Amino acid sequence: MDNDILKVLYSQDEINEACQRLGKQIQTAYQDKFPVVIGVLKGATFFMSDIVRATDTYMQIDFIDVSSYHGGTQSSGDVELVTDITTDVSGRDVVIVEDIVDTGQTLKFLLDMLKGRGAKSIKVCSLLDKPAGRTVDAHADYIGFEVPNEFVVGYGLDYDEKYRNLPYIGVLKPEIYTNN
């Protein structure tokens, strides 16, 4: 698997430092509150697990599964709700945890949905932000790294459901996705 990687963008140590930094920011912002922190499956799994443990404050956790990529390297633009949260977010402070905001379509879908359900406030924490990919108006409030306009994998991010379990974030060799 390591062999398929052209270059490492963020090492395990760099990711860990970003998680600690963002965790402290969230801790400060929510120390007198009881937010619902929603991890977006499946990409945000590892980031969610690290970020909530870097935050020493009371919080509820939940997960939502939405999908838009359907396996390729381009967002299909149609976001599908696969599995919903079980928490009633009406009147609640919500923090969405994402691995990456690229076109912004997934995030916009989630923001519209949670606003529609009457969330009191919604903030977004994303490990990666790819501003060059943006096609709709949606942004994260807490960001780990701004990534270049390259297709990245690892630490939850997949290509065709592979590479999520790499402990770092890297760029795939071009032949991996051009041969498929």
Contact positions toward ligand PRP, by CB under 6 A?
Answer: 40-43, 67-69, 75, 98-107, 158
User: Which residue out of 50, 93, 99, 102 is catalytically annotated?
Assistant: 102
By CB under 5 A, tell whether 39 contacts Mn ion. Answer: no
How far are the Cα atoms of 27, 171, 174 from residue 53, in angstroms, in the given order? 11, 27, 35
Choices 74-82, 111-119, 124-132, 158-166; region in contact with Mg ion by CB under 5 A: 158-166
**Residue 154 touches which of Mn ion, Mg ion, ligand PRP, none (Cβ within 5-8 Å per kind):** none
According to DSSP, the β-strands at 60-67 and 121-129 are unpaired
Active site residue 137: no
Cα 30–Cα 34–Cα 35 angle in degrees, nearest 5: 75
Q: HSE-up of 145 (CA within 13 Å, CB side)?
A: 17
The answer to whether the CB of 140 falls within 8 A of the CB of 20 is: no
Binding test (CB under 5 A) with Mg ion, winner from 62, 65, 150, 158: 158
**Residue 105 touches which of Mn ion, Mg ion, ligand PRP, none (Cβ within 5-8 Å per kind):** ligand PRP
By CB under 5 A, tell whether 156 contacts Mn ion. Answer: no
Q: Is 78 exposed, middle or buried (0-12, 13-18, 19+ CB in 10 A)?
A: exposed
CB of 159 to ligand PRP, least distance (A): 9
Neighbours of 28 (CB within 10 A): 10
Q: Give the nearer residue to ligand PRP in terms of CB position, either 32 or 137.
A: 137
Active site residues: 102
Residue ranges that bind Mg ion, judged by CB under 5 A: 69, 158
